[in-house]
Chains A and B, each alone.
Chain A
């Protein structure tokens, strides 16, 4: 068999964009669609929470450590999921350096779709403007070297924040039309923020929209979100990485039809099974376990999970979700090291008509 032509060495940005486009890559990228900030990195960058979520210079500085210190191929400065909800008027509990800001969902701000008011200048709210400015800062600092990933919250997650989880889930059963109206009334925020981040310099955007199997059926995703996500893929001009925590294999067939670039999936789902289900129609990003592996176990355990994902042909390697703030640096650094070692151990196996790492079909043939 003719040896496959070598892929020239890529910059981290080229690598991430190629993988998101399911095009050939020199090696599988290590990306972070969600936060990899830790308390130790906050010290290193002198950018502690909560200020790093509210001041663009600190946000950019802390986010950059993912690339400069840990060796990831991307920088993602939007550590939390509260920006838009804060701009809408939700009460935020800001917490301290060692904890996440959260929306006080037990104090909802909306009850009916008619209550939804999106302020005209909501992207000028300090918490949303912070994101845009941080992206601008990072683009200026790093040029085209590293991929910058933004984040825009999906309407289902925004509804959890604004209506409360239980009231919203009851509404979804009691009154599907009302529920659809809520999603429609909020979807423009998702689109506008995605576009604004693209204009600020983001290369891709994570879209968390938590219709997880831990709470709702796959049919729900198909009924309420699939078409919306298709619309987002059409209207937001940069690749979208959908993020849903929890059990999601049953809804991956729907997700794969949306036209989004990739799905960031959780460790509750097996990599090989997930790759088989999406079958090349969407990329997969993930799925290193956070609370056990990254937080509480060793670099050797991290390596094992990285290898499991690579063996399955997952397109981008990442932690499964925002990592615990106390995660050790050595565990995080192990991720890109493991990816590099895996590729050394698995030189590209040429297959007729297939690209460098078989990434197009997502089926890497390991020797």
Chain B
């Protein structure tokens, strides 16, 4: 494909060809990497490989060479994680591999975060994230959190098995504008609806935007539950969060 051919890194091209089947995802990810420099593609490749020492080194070198922190984050780290997210969802990789990629992301972000904070960049918004009641999976949520933080959001992580009241308390305490709920089990998805109802009961529904996501969740389900948006994956979660706040993508 001519678009894929524009991507310098053989590894990245192969990852996209082999693992990104959905046309919309393939298009978005391909376009991202076409815009990424070779240096950024190398960071992404190391992250996908779970190679945290290399991500650490390459991130440091890129910043020292004058590449902007946001560019490294968007086109190196987040771009790499977008492929990891898809591979995990499709069961090409499992939790050990995802943990290794998350560790690599963390290694890169250790250099990025201080720069972003020092440059006085205000968070785009505050997001409360949690896996719903009864659900103890958190990898998807954690990927979203990394992406959100990496995109400039302040994220309060409530962890797993989060009751509606915990979501409400967190929104009140942090004055958050977005709530993100994750569920990886069909049996726990209804708790998303219960949480939304809880916000209604607490007279708080109009004060927050509520987004939902997770492997079994669909747009239809999100609409039925009364959510404001649905994010198909960690990358889409960031796009959605920005849309909900009216921030440029």
Contacts from A to B (Cβ < 8 Å)? 166, 169-170, 172-174, 214-217, 220, 291-292
Does more than half of chain B's interface fall in helix, strand or loop, or is it mixed? helix
B97 (CB) vs chain A CBs: closest residue: A173
Question: Once the chains are docked, how many angstroms separate the CA of A367 from the CA of B98?
Answer: 48
Q: Which of A173, A214, A220, A292 contacts B99 (CB 8 A)?
A: A173
Residue pair B96, A173 in contact (C-beta under 8 Å): yes
B94 is contacted by which of A170, A174, A217, A291 (Cβ under 8 Å)?
A: A217
The contact of A170 among B103, B137, B187, by CB within 8 Å, is B103
Give A173 to B97 CA distance when docked, in angstroms: 7
Would you give the shortest CB distance from A188 to chain B, in whole angstroms?
Answer: 25
Q: Is the CB of A216 within 8 A of B134?
A: no
Residues of chain A contacted by B99 (CB below 8 angstroms):
166, 169-170, 173
Cα–Cα distance between A217 and B93 once the two chains are bound (Å): 8
Size bin of chain B's contact surface: 10 to 19
Name 8 extra pairs, CB < 8 A, besides A215-B95, A216-B94, A220-B96.
A170-B100, A173-B96, A173-B99, A173-B100, A174-B100, A215-B96, A216-B96, A291-B187
How far apart sit A173 and B101, CA to CA, in the bound complex (Å)? 11
| Interface contact tally, CB-CB below 8 A | 28
Q: Cβ of A292 and Cβ of B96 under 8 Å apart?
A: no
Cα A220 to Cα B96 with chains together (Å): 10
Q: Chain B, 105-141, contact with A by CB distance < 8 Å: what is the 0/1 string?
A: 0000000000000000000000000000010010000
Give the residue name and chain of the A residue nearest to B93 (CB).
A217
**When chains A and B are docked, how far (Å) is the Cα of A216 from the Cα of B93?**
8
CB distance from B136 to the nearest CB of A (A): 10
**Contact of A215 with B94 at beta-carbon distance under 8 Å, contacts A173-B50, A291-B187, A292-B187 already known:** yes
Separation of A216 and B103 alpha carbons in the complex (Å): 18
What residues on B are CB-neighbors of A216 within 8 Å? 94-96
Q: Would you give 14 A-B contacts (Cβ < 8 Å), ordered by A?
A: A166-B99, A170-B96, A170-B100, A172-B96, A173-B99, A173-B100, A174-B100, A214-B137, A215-B95, A215-B96, A216-B94, A220-B94, A291-B187, A292-B187
